[in-house]
Structure 1
Amino acid sequence: MTDTMTSPDASLALASEFPPATEAAWRAAVDAVLKGKPFDKVLVGRTADGIAVQPLYPRKAGAAPLAARAPGLPWTVAQRADHPDPAAANGLALEDLSGGASGLTIVTRGAIGDRRGDAMVIDGLADLDALLAGVMLDLIPVRIDAGTSAGHVAAMLAAKAERDGIDPASLTIAFGIDPVGAFARRGTLEDWTGAAAKASDAVLALRRRGFGGTQLVADGRVIHDAGGSEVQELAYVLGSAVQYWRMLEAAGLPLAEAAQALSVVLSVDADQFLSTAKVRAMRKLWARLETACGLAPSHLDLHAETAWRMLTRVDPAVNWLRTTTAVFAAGVGGADHVVVEPWTAAIGLPDAFARRIARNTQLILIEESNLHRVADPAAGSGGMEALTDELCKRAWAQFQEWEKAGGIVAALSANLVQPAVAKVRAERAAAIAKRREPLTGASEFPNVHETVPEVLAAPKRETRRGAAPIDLPAAARGERFEAQVKAFASGAIRSALSRLKSDTIFVEALAPIRLAEPFEALRAKLDAVTAATGTRPKVFLAVIGPVAAFTARATFARNLFEAGGFDAPIPSGFADVAAIRDAFAASGATIACLCSSDELYAAEAAHVAEALKGAGAKQLWLAGRPGDLEEGLKAAGIDGFVFAGGDVLDFLNRAHAALDA
């Protein structure tokens, strides 16, 4: 007998018993279920850039894997070194490295990655020594995220390597010099000519010293943090890259070397498919950019970081799920290095446990899921390929628009980028307010009785001032940078090498936001009331009828009001209107919400509303759309209606106002 389970040539006879599956047959079955509802509105999603996401795609024939990191090798499990005190940061970093991390990202005060404003202060070589004590720099990749201080930190690293006899070529350091990103985040710039001269001076000196790695970075996080779209993030990265290539060419560096001087940072979030497609699109766009400039496509050093804006302060354990999804997307997309924001990062300075979870999120996906072993697993997937190609198409078009304005610096200076980002941010905020984009733990399924996890106390370590100024030569071909290296090697601190900024360009800054902040502000207000009084403000759910009649709407109402910080327990039911009134009076609540079926609303809602108003209710809501009953219900005392698709933040703000009345 032929073994049909193991023979490679065996056909699946079982499948032949069924009619062939066709898209037409599937569509006919779908239309039968939709019963006249529009296919495009029900089953076709849209990204923030308006890209249609279809429910079904055919396989893309002939698709080849995109070249990314070396096949079969894992990405760098990078950990943030960001404790304000370099010595304390060193202890955490050594624990990270001994616990499985394979790289470090040094985050200093004022950097793009310093969203809380409490990151590390590195004033001089002594601080850098304290941070890196016991760290074998020649064994791990390091990325510097230092904002306007990146050049100074780079000079300190050069001084350290020279003093300690470390071969610069043995190091892999992404120095992260990024005057465009600093301008976009801060909203101020001395002028591009001066900023470009200083950046070029540092790049030329670092390359002359032979450091391995990259000197400049095109950092898309500044767009993502501010609420921008995937297309805007990609286009901004392309614009920054071209701005830097032109800058280095003008400084005398051949274009091929200029291209190798850059790395890229992207944000990845809980939208797995979109984040994977974005990372893949970056590879394709980079190759296209190099080809357009007459260069042979080369490897792009691509760093991914889990998104700041998706993190929540409330129910922060959900951040474990968000960051796991984001790391999965980055790994599948082909990122070379990945950083996970610890799950408590939105609350404060993460402790050792939070950092352990951050690195283990990656290690489990590598060591247990073997996620790195397949080169570009998304290749050929119809949906992923279509999304990748559409991101490429739109990002390239947006990049060209900003190029027509004179480049990304000119576009930022003319406030062309900021309103586009603000528009996307506002549209997403509206979707979140109506819970079309739910935030688990914040806008959906809140837990008002949660225990807030511990974070580290961030010491108040300020930048040292008052050092005697040291004159530096003008930025040219590395002379200024070399003077900084010499000064730091002699014990100078940054304030001695810094001068008051004489910025001439002032624009709207692309400040970081988190999507859950409006809900968290409401929660925080009532958390403070709870802490002061010992009792959480309540919303009384006036359930009418049997359990089957009220459970769905009572559950909806509880989730809605608790998202604003109220306590809204669901009662087991009441015998009559008098029992509802008495229970409300005993609850201590001043706000009530009626919950039941449409049929019982028609029969009982007005009587219940009148009874609750008589018992002292300041505000009455009804869960559901009122339909023809609206006029009568309002006359009976109903102040508003809560329903799916409504503006939840508006509902909650009105409820909060009743507490203040």
Structure 2
Amino acid sequence: MAHSTSSFESKTVEQWKELVTSSLRGKDWSSLTTTTPELITIEPLYTELTKEQEDQIQKLQQVWVTEDVKAIEPGTQVELDTRKWHKHGADAVTELVAFLLESHKRAESGSIPEKVAFSVDTQFFMEIAKLRAARVLWSAFLHARNLETTSLVIVAETSLRSYSLYDPMVNLLRSANSAFSAVLGGANEVAVYPFDKLTGETELSKRLAANILEIIEHETFVSAVQDPAAGAYAIEALTDQLTEKAWNAFIEVSEKTVEQQNEWLQQQSSTSFDAQLQAVAKRKQALIGTTIYANPADPVTIASQDNGYKRLAEQFEELRASLQSFSEKVAIVQAGDYKTSKPRVDFCKGVLSTFGWDAAVISPAQMNEYAYIVIAGTDEDISKVVAEMTDGPQLVDIAGKHPEFENFQSKGVTGMIHLGQSLLEKGSELRSKLAVKEDAR
């Protein structure tokens, strides 16, 4: 019997890029790239392992600790601790610079640290690259000081930066994501925070946290591989870029006084956190259960502890708590038929749920029954509803950036809900306006 030996025709990267570009329907190629808080551009495809990256892998193998990953024992002491900068909002580059600066101080006093602690957040590939870059930088640091290469023990703990009070079970997914990236990045010891760390741990949450490491250890077998992320082009590229950025920044900042170094780290951490918060507020970065798929039925909860973290969800939680008293007075007016209005109605419901409001969807005839309404539909249908409005006591917003918005203001329209808008700014604006309306009654 004859057998076919046909094979797939090989394609070049240029052919792949041409095909993808044609499917973007007019969008620029840059729409497929992502810029991280570290100002590193993540490409949609990595296809080449460079000679420099091969050398980098060799350096990693020299300083890797070939032991199974284990949970951190209570009371574990570390010689270098970058976690305080992560708690203040530092990005990966800033954390690595802090690691090098502290190593430099210790070396100047005659001691060489062997154990460092990092917090690991939910930016999966970046966190893997961060820990791998720490080992490359450690090797480079020892070489620059003509010191013998020694193994670096990395202690990692899952971060609370992305933890939220609302929909707390999502925190379980966040911690699992962080723990897995820590292991893939080469952490030797890992601590996993329980999903209810913010409100008080339970036996269930502590058991689930412990089981995350058990599952990683016994079901993925990653600890059986010296460097499980080696050869992954995207991770190697990120590792290389992080290493270069952190080393160059270290060389520059190390010339400063200790006080100036701390000021630099504080400024970088603050700037990074603000940028991340803005990305979350504009829904460019998702916080599931808080800014995306928020459930208005979740009860308002107060954090009992946060371990000193600046959390991305915190301002949204405070805003939501302050808006609860208006939850029964909010509605979305369906302008036009169901099919054409649904995209904007759904978008507005998602935005308002972030504020804890389960907005009713009503007809234009019912709009005077509510303190705050959003008119949602096509631009044409919105225009028709606004034209028939009478100036009432309620606040009126429209969905989308309508070209006639300025003219609508004379009819009582006070604002808009649209893509790219800061939810924090919009929520604060509504809180102020609704409070004024409430006081005027």
Q: How does 1:33-72 map to 2 (within 5 A)?
A: 33-40=23-30, 42-60=31-49, 63=54, 64=57, 66-67=60-61, 70-71=65-66
- Structure 2 counterpart of 1:539: 330
| Distance in 2 separating the partners of 1:621 and 1:432 | 22
Percent identity between matched residues is 27
- Structure 2 counterpart of 1:549: 340
Unaligned stretches of 5+ residues in structure 1:
5-11, 79-103, 107-142, 144-174, 177-216, 250-257, 459-510, 530-534
Cα offset, 1:227, TM superposition: 1.0
2:277 to 429, 437, 443: 429
- Structure 2 counterpart of 1:418: 266
Q: 2:413 matched to 1:561? A: no
- Structure 2 counterpart of 1:238: 100
Q: 2:235 matched to 1:384? A: yes
- Structure 2 counterpart of 1:625: 401
Q: How does 1:18-417 map to 2 (within 5 A)?
A: 19-40=9-30, 42-60=31-49, 63=54, 64=57, 66-67=60-61, 70-71=65-66, 73-78=67-72, 104-106=73-75, 143=76, 175-176=77-78, 217-247=79-109, 249=110, 258-259=111-112, 261-346=113-198, 348-406=199-257, 409-412=258-261, 415-417=263-265
Amino acid at match of 1:358: A
1:230-271 superposed Cα distances (whole Å, 9 cap, x missing partner): 100001011111111222x2xxxxxxxx32x43111111111
Cα offset, 1:547, TM superposition: 1.7
Name the CA shift for 1:31/1:349 in 2 (closer, same or farther; >3 Å): same
| Distance in 1 separating the partners of 2:361 and 2:152 | 55
Amino acid at match of 1:51: I
Name the CA shift for 1:631/1:526 in 2 (closer, same or farther; >3 Å): closer
Cα offset, 1:48, TM superposition: 0.9
Cα offset, 1:559, TM superposition: 1.5
Tell me if the contact between 1:538 and 1:567 (Cα under 8 Å) persists in the aligned partners: no
Amino acid at match of 1:29: L
Tell me if the contact between 2:162 and 2:313 (Cα under 8 Å) persists in the aligned partners: yes
Q: Per the alignment, in what secondary structure is the counterpart of residue 39 of structure 2?
A: coil
CA RMSD of aligned residues (A): 2.5
Q: Per the alignment, in what secondary structure is the counterpart of residue 387 of structure 2?
A: helix
Unaligned stretches of 5+ residues in structure 2:
437-441
- With 348-357 and 275-284 compared, the bigger mean Cα shift is at 348-357
| Distance in 2 separating the partners of 1:304 and 1:540 | 46
Amino acid at match of 1:626: H
- With 230-239 and 560-569 compared, the bigger mean Cα shift is at 560-569
Name the CA shift for 1:267/1:14 in 2 (closer, same or farther; >3 Å): farther
Name the CA shift for 1:344/1:606 in 2 (closer, same or farther; >3 Å): farther
Cα offset, 1:32, TM superposition: 1.6
| Distance in 2 separating the partners of 1:538 and 1:336 | 53
- Structure 2 counterpart of 1:15: 7
TM-score, structure 1 as length reference: 0.61
Q: Per the alignment, in what secondary structure is the counterpart of residue 521 of structure 1?
A: helix
Tell me if the contact between 2:296 and 2:357 (Cα under 8 Å) persists in the aligned partners: yes
Tell me if the contact between 2:85 and 2:266 (Cα under 8 Å) persists in the aligned partners: no
Q: Per the alignment, in what secondary structure is the counterpart of residue 375 of structure 2?
A: strand
Cα offset, 1:21, TM superposition: 1.4
Cα offset, 1:525, TM superposition: 2.0
Tell me if the contact between 2:165 and 2:302 (Cα under 8 Å) persists in the aligned partners: no
2:419 to 607, 619, 644: 644
| Distance in 1 separating the partners of 2:434 and 2:309 | 31
Cα offset, 1:31, TM superposition: 2.2
1:481-520 superposed Cα distances (whole Å, 9 cap, x missing partner): xxxxxxxxxxxxxxxxxxxxxxxxxxxxxx6310111101
Q: How does 1:590-601 map to 2 (within 5 A)?
A: 590-601=371-382
Q: Per the alignment, in what secondary structure is the counterpart of residue 372 of structure 1?
A: helix
Cα offset, 1:567, TM superposition: 2.6
- Structure 1 counterpart of 2:439: none
- Structure 1 counterpart of 2:429: 654
Amino acid at match of 1:47: T
Cα offset, 1:350, TM superposition: 1.1
Amino acid at match of 1:322: R
Amino acid at match of 2:74: T
| Distance in 1 separating the partners of 2:74 and 2:156 | 11
Tell me if the contact between 1:281 and 1:391 (Cα under 8 Å) persists in the aligned partners: yes
Amino acid at match of 1:400: I
Tell me if the contact between 2:319 and 2:355 (Cα under 8 Å) persists in the aligned partners: yes
Task: Kindly name which structure, 1 or 2, has the bigger radius of gyration based on alpha carbons.
Answer: 1
Aligned residues: 429
- Structure 2 counterpart of 1:255: none
Tell me if the contact between 1:269 and 1:306 (Cα under 8 Å) persists in the aligned partners: yes
Amino acid at match of 1:595: A
Name the CA shift for 1:555/1:336 in 2 (closer, same or farther; >3 Å): same
Q: Per the alignment, in what secondary structure is the counterpart of residue 222 of structure 2?
A: coil
Q: Per the alignment, in what secondary structure is the counterpart of residue 115 of structure 2?
A: strand
Tell me if the contact between 1:351 and 1:454 (Cα under 8 Å) persists in the aligned partners: no
1:635 to 395, 405, 410: 410
Name the CA shift for 1:105/1:398 in 2 (closer, same or farther; >3 Å): farther
Q: Per the alignment, in what secondary structure is the counterpart of residue 658 of structure 1?
A: helix
Cα offset, 1:569, TM superposition: 3.6
